[in-house]
Amino acid sequence: MFFLIGLGLGDAKDITVKGLEIVKKCSRVYLEAYTSVLTIGKEALEEFYGRELIVADRDCVEQDADSILAEAAETDVAMLVVGDPFGATTHTDLVLRAQQKGIPYQVVHNASIMNAIGCCGLQLYSFGETVSIPYWTDSWQPESFYDKIAGNRARGLHTLCLLDIKVKEPTLESMTKKKKEYMPPRFMSVSEASHQLLQILEKKRSGGEGSLAFTEKTLCVGLARVGSPEQKLHAASLTEMSNTDLGLPLHSLIIAGQLQPLEVEYLEQFLSKSYSLEEHAFS
């Protein structure tokens, strides 16, 4: 059997009872460390689970998936995933491959950022399409997520922005070498994401675009380390968010749409002193 087990967002104890029982009985247990990371290390998980974990980095997940599934054809194998297993298309692909090979599988769900963002008080049913904001380079500066934000805002919906992480990313210089060299891990902050959004805004204005998806004054919510004891939330204008330090990763950013009275009341506790929700206009 191949098991995909969600770990939740906080610490080792966030795994479900069902998930923990499966981990203890499997012959091999992989910890997927590509699409997201926990705020604690592998060692803390091993101590709580009472067994060794095999770190599955990007190369392992993308290139050796068939080998992992071949093991699952002979014995019980588990893949541990931060958040919920279906929070990334990578894991959907693993399930499809298992189906194609006739390998039985089971999914154990858990909390993910997709539902835990409700901790800021914005109602989940008022969110539109989720977007991902990638790190820009000198030669690659995609803006396709802007149109999705615009579509959400046109309908008065909030937008959850998932921020880029770079774990075991090969350097450009080593791509042509036999031995890969890797860049240091990077985790996009709400400040970095906001800076990129402001740059897009300036480009749209310079290009003469009349109706903008958001402005410098648009209300945003920054979230850091959701689900952990060190969770931090801050609500402010996009400009202020670009100068906000929420500390260690992981971060997420919400671009607010139209606010309901209950959302306004709840957001007050995280709101910047320089931003008044009473004066907030849908801008």
Q: Distance between CA 280 and CA 242 in Å, rounded?
A: 19
User: Would you say the C-alpha torsion 226, 232, 235, 236 has a positive or negative sign?
Assistant: negative
Between vectors from CA 241 to CA 209 and to CA 243, what angle results, nearest 5°?
Answer: 110
Which residues are documented as binding site? 9, 84, 87, 112-113, 163, 226, 251
Between vectors from CA 180 to CA 175 and to CA 184, what angle results, nearest 5°?
Answer: 100
Nearest one of 47, 50, 56 to 77, comparing CA atoms: 56
CB 189 within 8 A of CB 251: yes
- 281: left (phi > 0), else alpha (psi -120 to 50), else beta? beta
Which residues are documented as binding site for S-adenosyl-L-methionine? 9, 84, 87, 112-113, 163, 226, 251
Q: Distance between CA 231 and CA 251 in Å, rounded?
A: 10
